[in-house]
Amino acid sequence: MPLFGTDGVRGLANGILTADLALTLAQATAVVLGQGRTAEARRAEGKRLSAVVARDPRVSGEFLVAAVSAGLAASGVDVLDAGVIPTPALAFLVGDHDADFGVMVSASHNPAPDNGIKIFARGGVKLPDVVEQRIEAAMEWEKLLPTGAGVGRIQRFSDAEDRYKLHLLGSLPHQLDGIHVVLDCAHGAASGVSPETFKDAGATVTVIGADPDGININDGVGSTHLDNLAEAVVRLGADIGIAHDGDADRCLAVDADGNVIDGDQIMAILAVAMKERGHLKEDTLVATVMSNLGLHKAMSEHGITVRQTAVGDRYVLEDMNANGFALGGEQSGHVIMSEFATTGDGVLTGLHLVAEMAHKKKSLAELASVMTVYPQVLINVRDVDKDRCADDEGVQAAIAAVEAELGATGRVLLRKSGTEQLVRVMVEAADAESAQSYAEKLAAVVKERLAL
């Protein structure tokens, strides 16, 4: 089974993800990412490779960062340890410092016992599949390690957070004056920098979920648990709630009445604002096939094209990078603003969302009304032959029949899981009852036709 998943290497810390694995992975990364023309030019000038390393607050990150740093330094790479910062901050610092690559130790929205290792290439961009495969293969190679003065140094990146904060503030088109924001930092990597940045941008800030102790990350807080945030916003009479996940590459929101504003709605708001300012290249938004039908309809009404990719922010990024598009993301809250970031950045997204409220002097609910959210039902059909889904005549006939009945008022999507033996059936319709009924009908056909 491949070591790399959809977003780096992830698993139970000290289970799958051991210190030995982290050290070996770091050494293999140094070998593979040290083979490019830029790296060779640095060596010709007598310079060593450099890497920025960071982590989220979970307790296992301490020994994993130590192992990664040891593996890199033993391979002749100079390491700048940025401490606890968000994943998008690490990506920014790789480019800002002109480092050869970066390594983030985080399991994002996963619970505290898990951890992960994400690798960013020069410029702070995620690695393509082929490079990850080369790194995995290199873990088996015998490595010639430097000695004496050839080994790398490990130093503290003392102004890492300040650089990132200044970058975020410099991106804002408007200050946040007059807006009361409740921030839920998921007891994660943004617990320090996010509240400070929102305050410096002019917002009134109330903070919850910002007391990390190494084991409480994502525990009933953050973007996967929005109830506490919604309650706090309503109780305090705040204007908006912003929720990050553990490594702050996501942003979800709640309005003044506690209603959830998801990634599709956030993208709709930002896309319209960016088009108005002339910053939305080719008036195009990039989203995945899971984005709501309401997003497509709303963008069409505003003269904005929506390009679709496979599920996963890496595929959104690939399309954006290939075509130079300025905005893309996922329903889950991964929003990428390529003018300012090379990956999804939850703090950046939240700042720009609140800036739009302050600029237009409108509530979040008013801004979000640009898009009507169609009810969406997702059913996971387990224990079926997922590989026959696209070719089975009975399944395809059932899909065609439902699509004909829905017409322009709904949408059907069937896709196989990349990690489990199941097929995901998703139906959108004008009302929740219809969506549920059609989804159950299709799920029954999939269960019958593709039974193992």
What is the rounded average pLDDT of the residues 392-414?
92
The span from the CA of 278 to the CA of 281, in Å, is: 8
Of 75, 108, 191, 194, the catalytic one is 108
The C-alpha R_g of the chain, in whole angstroms, comes to 23
Query: Closest by alpha carbon to 293, among 432, 408, 404, 379?
Result: 408
At 123-182, the pLDDT tens digits run 999 998 899 999 999 999 988 899 999 999 999 999 999 999 999 999 999 999 999 999
At 359-393, the pLDDT tens digits run 999 999 999 999 999 999 999 999 999 999 888 99
* Structure confidence at residue 412 (pLDDT): 94
Q: Helices 160-171 & 87-96, crossing angle to 10 degrees?
A: 90
The span from the CA of 354 to the CA of 253, in Å, is: 10
pLDDT beyond 70 at 328 = yes
Q: What tokens appear for 173 in the block?
A: 């088109």
* Structure confidence at residue 144 (pLDDT): 86
Look-up: residue for tokens 């003065």? Answer: 149
Establish whether 108 is an annotated binding residue.
Answer: yes
CB 30 within 8 A of CB 79: no
pLDDT beyond 90 at 44 = no
CB 54 within 8 A of CB 9: no
Q: What tokens appear for 226 in the block?
A: 């929005």
pLDDT above 70 as % of the chain: 99
Q: Which band of pLDDT confidence, cut at 50, 70 and 90, is reported for residue 118?
A: very high
* Structure confidence at residue 18 (pLDDT): 98
Establish whether 391 is an annotated binding residue.
Answer: no
Q: Which band of pLDDT confidence, cut at 50, 70 and 90, is reported for residue 452?
A: confident
311 vs 36: which has the higher pLDDT: 311
What is the rounded average pLDDT of the residues 8-16?
95
* Structure confidence at residue 297 (pLDDT): 95
Q: Which band of pLDDT confidence, cut at 50, 70 and 90, is reported for residue 438?
A: very high
What is the rounded average pLDDT of the residues 223-240?
97
CB 96 within 8 A of CB 50: no
The span from the CA of 353 to the CA of 418, in Å, is: 32
Establish whether 291 is an annotated binding residue.
Answer: no
What is the rounded average pLDDT of the residues 92-101?
96
Establish whether 245 is an annotated binding residue.
Answer: yes
Q: Return the sign of the alpha-carbon dihedral for residues 431, 232, 226, 255.
A: positive
For the chain, give the secondary structure using H, E and C: CCCCECCEEEEEECCCECHHHHHHHHHHHHHHHCCCHHHHHHHHCCCCCEEEEEECCCCHHHHHHHHHHHHHHHCCCEEEEEEECCHHHHHHHHHHCCCCEEEEECCCCCCCCEEEEEEEECCCEECCHHHHHHHHHHCCCCCCCCCHHHCCCEEECCCHHHHHHHHHHHHCCCCCCCCEEEEECCCCCCCCHHHHHHHHCCCEEEEECCCCCCCCCCCCCCCCCCHHHHHHHHHHCCCEEEECCCCCCCCEEECCCCCEECHHHHHHHHHHHHHHHCCCHHHEEEEECCCCHHHHHHHHHCCCEEEEECCCHHHHHHHHHHHCCCEEECCCCCEEECCCCCCCCHHHHHHHHHHHHHHHCCCHHHHHCCCCCCCEEEEEEECECHHHCCCCHHHHHHHHHHHHHHHHHCEEEEEECCCCCEEEEEEECCCHHHHHHHHHHHHHHHHHHCEC
The span from the CA of 307 to the CA of 285, in Å, is: 6
At 411-437, the pLDDT tens digits run 999 988 866 788 999 999 999 999 999
What is the rounded average pLDDT of the residues 94-110?
96
What is the rounded average pLDDT of the residues 14-39?
92
pLDDT beyond 90 at 349 = yes
CB 71 within 8 A of CB 204: no
pLDDT above 90 as % of the chain: 88
pLDDT beyond 80 at 91 = yes
pLDDT beyond 80 at 6 = no
What is the rounded average pLDDT of the residues 50-73?
98
* Structure confidence at residue 419 (pLDDT): 66
What is the rounded average pLDDT of the residues 105-134?
95
pLDDT beyond 80 at 42 = no
The span from the CA of 237 to the CA of 231, in Å, is: 10
* Structure confidence at residue 7 (pLDDT): 82
Reply yes or no on whether 108 is catalytic.
yes
Q: How many residues does the chain have?
A: 452
pLDDT beyond 80 at 41 = no
C-alpha to C-alpha distances, 114 to 1, 220, 378, nearest whole angstrom = 18, 16, 26
Identify the structural domains of the chain with CATH numbers, from first to last: 9-158 (3.40.120.10), 163-368 (3.40.120.10), 376-449 (3.30.310.50)
At 261-301, the pLDDT tens digits run 999 999 999 999 999 999 999 999 999 999 999 999 999 99
Query: Closest by alpha carbon to 350, among 250, 245, 232, 225?
Result: 250
